[in-house]
C-alpha cells in the first residue's frame, strides 16, 4: 500500500490545546477530569466527562466570525488550524488538500437543539442555524470554507470504526493522486445527550477514573476533543512518522493478525465488555500501552491514539501507560513501530501500523 507521512498534528482535549500540552499529559500520565450536568428523570445528575476548551481558536479566527459556529465545529476548526500550523502549511495554497473528518456521534448538541426547537415551536419555528450546523458534514464545511480548502471533503461516521474507516479513504485519495495532502481529523463532543446515555448505561454511580483493562467493572468516562493530522504520500522530508498500513475487519471473516515487532497501542477505554478482548489480543511476550485515560471514552479517541503514536515514534520513546496493562508495559525502551488497535462489539477490529 501507499505509505503515508504524518507531517503535522493538531490536538485539543481535556489535556489542553496543542502538541506541547498533549505531550506533557502523555509524559505525566494524567489529566483533570471535568463533568457535565444533565437533566434526568431522577433530577439533575453530574456525569464525569473529559471537557475540551476551544478558546484557543481565537488565535486564528476572529470571535465575530465564529458566532454561528457551534462547539463541535469549533473543535474541528481548532484541530485543523493547529495541525496545519504544525505542518507549516498555514497560509499556503490549500487547493490540492483533501479533508476527511471522522466522528462517532457528530454534532449531538446542535442536532438535539434543532429537534427541541422543532418540537417546541413546530416546523415554522425550527432554527435554520441549528439545522445548518446539524448536517453531518457541517464541521467539514466550516473548516473548508474558513481555511480555503478546495479539495474533496468527506465526513465518515461508523461509531468505533469511524477513524480507521476515514483513514482508509484518506489513504486512497493520496494513493490515487487526487490530492497532495489530506487534512485528516476526528472530533466528538460531550453533550447532554451523550451524558444522558452514559448515565443511563453506567449510573447512578459513575467511575471517577478509567481502568481500561478491568473486565469486571465499567469505568468509561465520556470525552470530547479533536485530533487532526496532516498526511501526505511518503515522498521524504521531515515528518513525525509514517503510516504503513490501515486495516479494518471482523474476526468472523478471518483471524486478527498483529505485527510481532510493534508496540501495541490499545484503544481500551473502560467499557468492560471490551477489556477482555483487548487483553486477549496481545500475544505472549508482546508489549502494549494504552493512553485513553488521558482523553476519555469516545469514538474519536482512535485519532488521539494515532497522534500519541506519532509523537512516540518521533522521539523514539514510548510514553508510559497510565493505567496498564501492566503485564505488557512498554517500559522505557526504544520504539520504532507501533500498531494502534481498535476493537468494537464482539468481533470488529481495526489496526493502523505506524513506523519511524
Shortest distance in whole angstroms from residue 120 CB to another protein: 9
Residue 132 in contact with another protein, rule: CB under 8 A: yes
129 binds another protein (CB under 8 A): yes
Query: What CA–CA distances, in Å, run from 73 to 77, 106, 132, 251?
Result: 6, 10, 11, 35
Does the footprint of another protein cover residue 64 (CB under 8 A)? yes
Question: Which of 42, 67, 238, 253 is close enough to bind another protein by CB under 8 A?
Answer: 67
DSSP class of residue 53?
Answer: -
Rounded to an integer, what distance in angstroms lies between the CA atom of residue 335 and that of residue 327?
18
- Please tell me whether residue 124 binds another protein under the rule CB under 8 A: yes
Judged by beta carbon, residue 112 or residue 131, the one nearer another protein is: 131
Nearer to another protein, 63 or 205 (CB): 63
User: Per-residue string for binding with another protein, 273-302, x by CB under 8 A?
Assistant: ------------------------------
Helices (H), 122-264: 128-134, 138-147, 162-176, 192-202
Contact 213, 268 (CB under 8 A): yes
CB 294: neighbour CB atoms within 10 A? 25
**Residues linked to residue 341 through DSSP beta bridges, in sequence order:** 266, 351
- What residues have CB less than 8 Å from 342, skipping those under 6 apart? 160, 161, 163, 164, 267, 302, 305, 349, 350, 351
- Nearer to another protein (CB atom), residue 127 or residue 153: 127
Q: Tell me the window of 29-37, 117-125, 263-271, 300-308 that interacts with another protein (CB under 8 A).
A: 117-125
CA atoms within 13 A on the CB side of 119: 6
Question: Is residue 248 involved in binding another protein (CB under 8 A)?
Answer: no
40 part of the interface to another protein, by CB under 8 A: no
* CA distance linking residue 301 with residue 289, whole number of Å: 14
Q: How far is the CB of 126 from another protein (least distance, A)?
A: 7
Phi, psi of 143 (to 5 degrees): -65, -50
End-to-end CA distance of the chain: give it in Å, rounded.
17
Pure H helices in 177-255? 192-202
Using rule CB under 8 A, residue 141 touches another protein = no
**Closest to another protein by CB, 132 or 247:** 132
Part of the chain binding another protein (CB under 8 A), chosen from 64-72, 154-162, 182-190, 312-320: 64-72
Does residue 78 sit in helix, strand or coil? helix
Q: Which residues of 150-181 are buried (b: 16+ CB within 10 A; e: fewer)?
A: ebebbbbbbebbbbbbbbbbbbebbeeeebbb
Q: Which CB atom, from 128 or from 238, has the smaller least distance to another protein?
A: 128
Residue 265: strand pairing partners: 289, 340
253's CB contacts (< 8 A; 6+ apart) are none
Nearest distance from C-beta of residue 132 to another protein, angstroms = 8
Q: Does 128 bind another protein (CB under 8 A)?
A: yes
- Does 126 contact another protein by CB under 8 A? yes
Question: Which region among 18-26, 80-88, 118-126, 234-242 touches another protein (by CB under 8 A)?
Answer: 118-126
Segment lying near another protein (by CB under 8 A), choices 17-25, 77-85, 126-134, 238-246: 126-134
Binding part of the chain for another protein, among 62-70, 79-87, 183-191, 311-319 by CB under 8 A, reads 62-70
Least distance in angstroms from the C-beta of 32 to another protein: 27
Q: Is 205 in the site for another protein (CB under 8 A)?
A: no
Q: Which residues bind another protein (CB under 8 A)?
A: 63-64, 67-68, 121, 124-129, 132
Amino acid at each position: 500500500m501507499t505509505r503515508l507521512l504524518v507531517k503535522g498534528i493538531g490536538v485539543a482535549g481535556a489535556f489542553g490545546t496543542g502538541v506541547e500540552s498533549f505531550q506533557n499529559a502523555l509524559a505525566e500520565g494524567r489529566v483533570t477530569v471535568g463533568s457535565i450536568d444533565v437533566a434526568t428523570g431522577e433530577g439533575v445528575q453530574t456525569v464525569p466527562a473529559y471537557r475540551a476548551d476551544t478558546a484557543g481558536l481565537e488565535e486564528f479566527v476572529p470571535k465575530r466570525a465564529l458566532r454561528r459556529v457551534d462547539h463541535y465545529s469549533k473543535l474541528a476548526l481548532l484541530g485543523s488550524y493547529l495541525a496545519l500550523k504544525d505542518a507549516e502549511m498555514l497560509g499556503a495554497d490549500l487547493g490540492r488538500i483533501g479533508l476527511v473528518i471522522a466522528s462517532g456521534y457528530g454534532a449531538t448538541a446542535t442536532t438535539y437543539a434543532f429537534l427541541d426547537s422543532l418540537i417546541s415551536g413546530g416546523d415554522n419555528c425550527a432554527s435554520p442555524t441549528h439545522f445548518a450546523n446539524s448536517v453531518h458534514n457541517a464541521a467539514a464545511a466550516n473548516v473548508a470554507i474558513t481555511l480555503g480548502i478546495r479539495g474533496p471533503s468527506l465526513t465518515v461516521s461508523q461509531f468505533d470504526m469511524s477513524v480507521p474507516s476515514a483513514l482508509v479513504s484518506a489513504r486512497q485519495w493520496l494513493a490515487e493522486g487526487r490530492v497532495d495532502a489530506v487534512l485528516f481529523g476526528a472530533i466528538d463532543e460531550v453533550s447532554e445527550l451523550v451524558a444522558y446515555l452514559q448515565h443511563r448505561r453506567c449510573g447512578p454511580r459513575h467511575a471517577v477514573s478509567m481502568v481500561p483493562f478491568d473486565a469486571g467493572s465499567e469505568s468509561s468516562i465520556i470525552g470530547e476533543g479533536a485530533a487532526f493530522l496532516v498526511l501526505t504520500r511518503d515522498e521524504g522530508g521531515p515528518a513525525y512518522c509514517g503510516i504503513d498500513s490501515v486495516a479494518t475487519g471482523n474476526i468472523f471473516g478471518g483471524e486478527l493478525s498483529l505485527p510481532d515487532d510493534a508496540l501495541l497501542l490499545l484503544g481500551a477505554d473502560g467499557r468492560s465488555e471490551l477489556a477482555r478482548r483487548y487483553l486477549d489480543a496481545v500475544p505472549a511476550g508482546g508489549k502494549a500501552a494504552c493512553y485513553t485515560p488521558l482523553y476519555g471514552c469516545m469514538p474519536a479517541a482512535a485519532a488521539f491514539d494515532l497522534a500519541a503514536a506519532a509523537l512516540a515514534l518521533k522521539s523514539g520513546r514510548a510514553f508510559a501507560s497510565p493505567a496498564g496493562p501492566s503485564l505488557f508495559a512498554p517500559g522505557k525502551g526504544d520504539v520504532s513501530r507501533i500498531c494502534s488497535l481498535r476493537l468494537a462489539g464482539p468481533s470488529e477490529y481495526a489496526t493502523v501500523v505506524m513506523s519511524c
